Structure formats: C-alpha cells, structure tokens
Amino acid sequence: MSEPAIRVEDLSKVFRLHTERRSSLKEIVVRGRSRRAGSFQALEGVSFEVPRGTTVGLIGHNGSGKSTLLKILAGVYRPTSGGVVVDGRVSALLELGAGFHGELTGRENIYLNGSILGMSRREIESSIQEIIAFAGIGEFIDSPVKVYSSGMYVRLGFAIAVTLDPEILIVDEIIAVGDEEFQRKCFDHLFRLRNQGTTIVLVTHSMGLAAELCDTAVWLDHGHVRAIGPAPEVISEYLGAVNENEALSNDEPGMIRAGLDAVRSGSGEVQVRAVEALDQLGRPLPVVLTNEPLTLRVHFDVKVPVRDVTIGIGFIHENGTGIGGSNTREHGVPIQLEPGVGYIDYTTDRLDLMPANWRMSTAVRSHGHVYDMLEKAFPLPVRSSGGSTEGGAVRIHGRWGAAVQEDSPSTAPSAATP
Amino acid sequence: MRSVRYTPPLWRQWNLVWNFAQRDLKSKFKGSALGWAWSLIVPLATLGIYTVVFSFIFRAEPPDLGNGRDGVFVLFLFAGLTAWTFLASSINGGISGLIGTGALLKKIYFPPYAPVLGAVVAVGVQSLIELGLFLSVLLVLGNVGWSWLLVPVWAAVFTTFTVSLAVIFAVLNVTMRDLAHLVTIALQLLFYATPIIYPLTLVPEHWHSVPLRVLIEWTPFSQFIQVFRGLTYGLDAGSWMSWLTMVAWAALALGIAALVVRRRGGDLGEEL
C-alpha cells in the first residue's frame, strides 16, 4: 500500500478556558494573571490515516470536534499533543472570500486572496481570466467588493478556490452556501477533484453527501474517534445512534402534538387532538424512518353526533410544498361518530416520504362543511437508517433493468444478417 | 511527509507580503478625490507646521549644510521626520494590520508576520517618495556627497530594526490589547526625546547631574536619525561606533522578533 496522504497520530487539542479573559495589561497588573480556570478537551487521542486519492468525511454531532480537527488539518490551530503530517500541497477551504477587502475591487481581491491561498503571482495571472469568467459577475469585477451581493461575494471566492490545484483539500461543507445552482457547482467541483485523484477531507452534516462522495468516514464523538471505516457502514452506525438519542430525549414517544403556531379552523363538533406514530405491531414509534412500516393514529374528540364524516391527512415537505395526502372517502370508509373520544389509523407498509422535517395537516369534514382543520400543524421528522443518495421528497417506485450495450460487437451479434 | 504548516522561506513569501502592502495602500486612498497626492500632502503639511512653529516662533538654529552653506531648518527637519515617520507608522500599521487580518488567520494559515511586513512595505513606499523628494531638494541646493552612497546601507539596517519592532509589538498586542495604546504614548514621548525637531547641541549636557545629552545621543532612535541626517544633510559618513550601535540594535530587535514569533505566533488563530 502506498504512503498515506495524511497521517494523524494521537492528536489531542485542549482549549484553555479563562473564566474571564484578562487580555489587557491593566488587568494582568492589577489582578494577576488569570488562573487557568479550566480547559476543554476538544480532541483526545485521535489517530487515522487518509490514503492518497481517497475522500474522507468527518461526521458527528455539533461539538464533536469536527471543526477543530479540520482547523488543525488546515494549520489554523496547533495540536496540543500528537501531530499531523501530510504529503503534498494542502489547500483549505473553510470560508469563501474570507480574505476579501471591501474597498478593493474584485480583480484586486483575486490577487490578494490568491496570494493568501498560496498562489504565486504567475499562477494568478495565468488563471485570472478563467476566474473572472467562472465567477460570472460581469462588470462588477472592477467594482469594490463592498457593493457586491452576498451571492456575488461567494461566487468570486469560489472561482478563486476552483483554480487552486491542491493535492490535498480540506473543505468545510458550509462553503456551499447560496442558491441551488451554486451548491451544485460546488459539489460538481468536489467530484471533479475527487476523480482527478485529489485527497479530500470533508466536514459535512449531510449524510447523503457523505455517502455519495466519501470513501471512508470518521465519526467523532466528544473529541474521540467513535468509528472509522467504509463510509456507508459508519454512516449507518452514526444515524442509528442519532435516532436512538432522539428517541430517548422524547418523553412521550410516538405522540405528535400540534405545534404552538398551529391555527385551527372549522365549526368544532369534531376536533383532532393528536397524531400518534406506531410501528407495525402497534407500539409507539419514537423515530419515523423512511422505507419502514408506519401507522399514523389520528385521535379525535366528538362533541355531538355527526354523520358521513371524511377524515383526511396531508403531508407537506419542509420546503412548503404539499406532496400528497389521503382521506377516508377516497378509500370508501363511511364514518358515523357519537360523542366521546376515538381514533382512526392510517397505515402504510413502506413510508415513501424521504428524510426531511415534514409537517402534517388534518381535516374533518362532511359534504363541504369543515368541522375541523389543522393546516401544517403536526411536525413529522422523517429520518433515514442509512445515508440515502436518492434525492427528492418522495420515493418513486419502479425497476431498473440490466445495462445493455448496443454497439459492442462481442455482446450484440449482428441481427441484420440474412 | 511534512507539517501542515509548511512555511516557504521568507523570500518566497514576497508575493503575499506585497499583496498585503497593496491592500493597505489601495484601501488608504480609495474613494478620496486626491488619492495618492495625499501621501505627499500630509508629510508636507506636517513639515510646514513644524517649520512655522520652530523656525519662526522658537527661532531654532539649524546646523550648517554639509557643503558649508547656512543651514535650512526645513531640510534639517525633513531628514529626521522622514525617518521617524517610517518607524512610527510602521509600528502602528503593523499592529492594526495584524488585528485587521485576524478573521482571516482563523480560516487560513499563513505566517502571522506577513500582514505586518505588508504594512511596513506600504509605509516604506510612502517613505521612499518622501526620501526622493528630500534628496531632490538637496540636489538642487548642491548638497551632494559620497556619503549618499551609504544611504541604502543605512536604510537596510533601519528597516530591519523597524520591521522587528513592528512584528514584536503587533504579535504581543494580540494577547495584550493595551500595548497599542502604550505604544502610542511611548512613540510620542520618544519623538520629543529624539533630536528630530531640535539639534542635539540644544540639549543641555547635564541636567541635575544627569548626563542628559549623552543619554539622548545613544538611544537607538537617536543613532539612526542622526546618522541618516549626517549622511544626507551633513554629508558626514558617521562614526564606526554609530554604525556598530545601529547594527547591534537591529540584530537585537530581530532576535527578539524571531523569539516572539516562535513563542506567540503559532496560536494567533485562537487568540485573535
């Protein structure tokens, strides 16, 4: 096996915590140097190697030490003990346009930022036309960057970063801010670098991206490496732990109450109280998983007898689009209700909603009359048990056939022979 | 395999330093109607004010020019002021330059002295303009001599001294923010404790049995300024002792600067 591109050996980082920073001379003179009130161990005994040409994802919850590790790899922080050695030219992209000076024009900032990123004047000059074209900000290139929109700012920062030709790239997912098109450009660039054989270290919260881009993943938990290995396995393990944690923090598992901002309308003879998420055995389901069986139990109060009632449920994606729904009338279930409390179940064998923070609406009506309506009232976080690479809001059903090559002589003997 | 903090040798970092210098220079004059002209107007105005105060009101007597003509106070002052402005502006510029680049040091690693060097280079460009102006006037007056050839040597030693001081104060100021204010006061005090607006001969030899003139004469700042004024205005190459003193001060400052960068420079990304 070849030499690794990055070797992290028993790396630890301790931040000193001053109860009160005494950074001024007066304070030091008057009150003495601040005692080291405490320290915070951001990383402890982290070791791993990144083979040349592979992409590694750093995953973990907030505060797990991902960003600290990234900054040490980028050289911004020094390790307290242990060390990092690299084999090749390292470029770090922790923020786009970080070195821009507002008074300078875009063109002048290209020179400044390029030199900060370690490019020589000749390298910058040979690629400046390419940078300007890639940024696509037109005549603004000769205006001071202080008049730029935030979108133009990151586009220019990214255009400079693209021309870097690093052997090792340290990159933070948050560089992909901005509109969809820009995000796609960023990720396309990462894929291109990866295919060229650049070694990439990526911090990401998107398990989909991690599964798609990374060969291996390092799961950090409170400064320790909790798991390291092939990306899909580590990601599933991580998501499993996250889902478990979410379940533990829920004191009323499975019960979904209307949010505080919910607006109820309707005449109120029947009112929906809550929705309960259950698994196929009728047990409360603390975390709703995509592609798994789900029963949604709609609990309601009835005040006066009602006839010919339709109960409906709707699913709204986190981006606000109503994706679909179902109601009892479509399924031919006639409902007559007497005063009291009750519930009705809606069951699916495989939840086709993709991971997102969904919301549910409920409606109780009869022949156009609305008894009760709660729009987008119930939060329904759908999670995944593995990093999914399929995008979108819902799963589309269908099958793929085997790939057939039509012009290959070995597999397709000429059918035209008489 | 190498460390992630690979730092190329100093001369390979010129592009970065020069870009920081350009940033300082461009942002200083951007948006003003007169632009670059200010880099001449401001020193000339300062010179004019001091001249009015000291040659008309206090009636200071400047020493004779090197070619034997009567002394010209404006030129006497110009020599000292040019050198002093370079020193003081470099230190102040270095301090604010490093603080101003703080956000960047949290995102990208580069040697922390690079923005300080950039600030000194930016100041140096202006000082060179002033120096050119000064030498042109002397040329017109026919006050030219072989001692001028030593000006570049003097400039190299003085720049080393100035850069080192700027780096020391800029790096230390990150952890002790009061330093910037102390430096402002100290520079003001030193300005008057250095024979810039007055010739050394004006200082009483003894003051309550304190050998005041000797004290003032041998401060590092006095040495640099007197030698420079000697080379240009007085056409005097300066004594071996003076040159040795200057080189010794510059070497000491450089050593301290290297030490400060090694001890404190590494973790500025966390402290800023």
**Are residues A185 and A332 located together in one domain of the fold?**
no
Q: What is the pLDDT of residue B73?
A: 83
Domain final residue, candidates A245, A273, A294: A245
Task: Please state, in angstroms and rounded to a whole number, the distance separating the CA atoms of residues B249 and B61.
Answer: 30
Closest CA to A250 of A214, A217, A277: A277
To the nearest whole angstrom, how far is the Cα of B166 from the nearest Cα of chain A? Answer: 19
Task: Please state, in angstroms and rounded to a whole number, the distance separating the CA atoms of residues A296 and A315.
Answer: 12
- CATH code of A26's domain: 3.40.50.300
Tokens of A279: 């698994």
Instruction: Count other Cβ atoms within 10 Å, centred on residue A323.
Output: 17
| Residues whose CB is less than 8 angstroms from the CB of residue A309 and which lie 6 or more positions away in sequence, other chains included | A270, A328, A335, A336, A337, A364, A365, A366, A371
- Tell how strand A199-203 and strand A224-230 pair up: unpaired
Residues B1, A6 contacting (CB under 8 angstroms): no
Residue B106 DSSP class: T
Averaged pLDDT in 10-residue chunks for chain B of 272 residues:
76 85 83 77 83 77 79 86 93 92 83 92 91 88 88 95 95 88 93 87 82 84 92 88 93 95 83 72
A402 assigned to some structural domain: no
**Are residues A240 and A174 located together in one domain of the fold?**
yes
Tell if the CB–CB gap between A116 and B109 is shorter than 8 Å.
no
B214-225 pLDDT per residue, tens: 888 888 899 999
Domain tally for chain A? 2
User: Region A86-105: what's the mean pLDDT?
Assistant: 82
Tell if the CB–CB gap between B26 and A90 is shorter than 8 Å.
no
Main-chain dihedrals φ then ψ at residue A147, nearest 5 degrees: -90, 0
Task: Please state, in angstroms and rounded to a whole number, the distance separating the CA atoms of residues A30 and A52.
Answer: 54
**Are residues A184 and A76 located together in one domain of the fold?**
yes
To the nearest whole angstrom, how far is the Cα of A267 from the nearest Cα of chain B? Answer: 58
Q: Which residues of chain B have a CB within 8 Å of the CB of A76?
A: 105-109, 269
Helices vs strands, H then E, count in chain A:
8, 20
- Residue A130's domain comprises 4-245
A414 assigned to some structural domain: no
**Are residues A54 and A110 located together in one domain of the fold?**
yes
Task: Please state, in angstroms and rounded to a whole number, the distance separating the CA atoms of residues B146 and A214.
Answer: 69
User: Region A343-363: what's the mean pLDDT?
Assistant: 90
Angstrom distances, CA of residue B263 to CA of A74, A85, A245, B35, B259:
20, 21, 43, 40, 6
**Are residues A197 and A273 located together in one domain of the fold?**
no
A275-293 pLDDT per residue, tens: 988 888 888 888 888 888 9
Residue A46 CA neighbour count, 13 Å, CB half: 36
Q: Any idea which of A120-129, A175-184, A240-249, B55-64 has the lowest mean pLDDT?
A: A175-184
Confidence check on the interface: ipTM exceeds 0.85, yes or no: no
Q: Which residues of chain B have a CB within 8 Å of the CB of A7?
A: 1
To the nearest whole angstrom, how far is the Cα of A192 from the nearest Cα of chain B? Answer: 23
Task: Please state, in angstroms and rounded to a whole number, the distance separating the CA atoms of residues A292 and A388.
Answer: 14
- Tell how strand A90-93 and strand A4-17 pair up: unpaired
**Are residues A87 and A202 located together in one domain of the fold?**
yes
**Interface A-B: count of C-beta contacts within 8 A:** 100
- The amino acid at A409: P
**Are residues A323 and A279 located together in one domain of the fold?**
yes
A76 assigned to some structural domain: yes
Task: Please state, in angstroms and rounded to a whole number, the distance separating the CA atoms of residues A128 and A112.
Answer: 12
- Tell how strand A322-327 and strand A294-302 pair up: unpaired
**Are residues A137 and A213 located together in one domain of the fold?**
yes
- CATH code of A310's domain: 2.70.50.60
A329 assigned to some structural domain: yes
Indicate the residue of B1, B16, B106 with minimum beta-carbon distance to A76.
Answer: B106
Q: What is the pLDDT of residue A36?
A: 52
Closest CA to A8 of A82, A77, A61: A82
Per-position b or e across A184-207, b if 16+ CB within 10 A of its CB: ebbbebbeebbeeebbbbbbbebb
Inter-axis angle of helices B240-264 and B151-175, to 10 degrees?
A: 30
Per-position b or e across A37-67, b if 16+ CB within 10 A of its CB: eeeeebbbebebbbebbbbbbbbbeeebbbb
SS3 B7: coil
To the nearest whole angstrom, how far is the Cα of A157 from the nearest Cα of chain B? Answer: 13
A415 assigned to some structural domain: no
**Are residues A261 and A241 located together in one domain of the fold?**
no
Residue A242 DSSP class: H
A182 assigned to some structural domain: yes
**Are residues A155 and A214 located together in one domain of the fold?**
yes
Tell if the CB–CB gap between A78 and B266 is shorter than 8 Å.
yes
- Tell how strand A168-172 and strand A90-93 pair up: parallel
Q: What is the pLDDT of residue A177?
A: 65
SS3 B20: helix
Domain final residue, candidates A190, A215, A245: A245
Tokens of B103: 């956000």
Domain final residue, candidates A191, A217, A245: A245
To the nearest whole angstrom, how far is the Cα of A153 from the nearest Cα of chain B? Answer: 16
Residues A178, A147 contacting (CB under 8 angstroms): no
A266 assigned to some structural domain: yes
**Are residues A314 and A347 located together in one domain of the fold?**
yes
Instruction: Count other Cβ atoms within 10 Å, centred on residue B205.
Output: 10
A144-199 pLDDT per residue, tens: 888 888 888 888 888 888 777 788 888 887 666 667 777 787 788 888 888 888 89
Task: Please state, in angstroms and rounded to a whole number, the distance separating the CA atoms of residues A167 and A89.
Answer: 5
A20 assigned to some structural domain: yes
**Are residues A98 and A240 located together in one domain of the fold?**
yes
Residues of A with CB under 8 A from a CB of B: 3, 7, 15, 23-26, 28, 71-78, 83-87, 90, 92, 94-95, 98-99, 101, 103-104, 108, 111-112, 115-118, 120-121, 144
Q: What is the pLDDT of residue A168?
A: 87
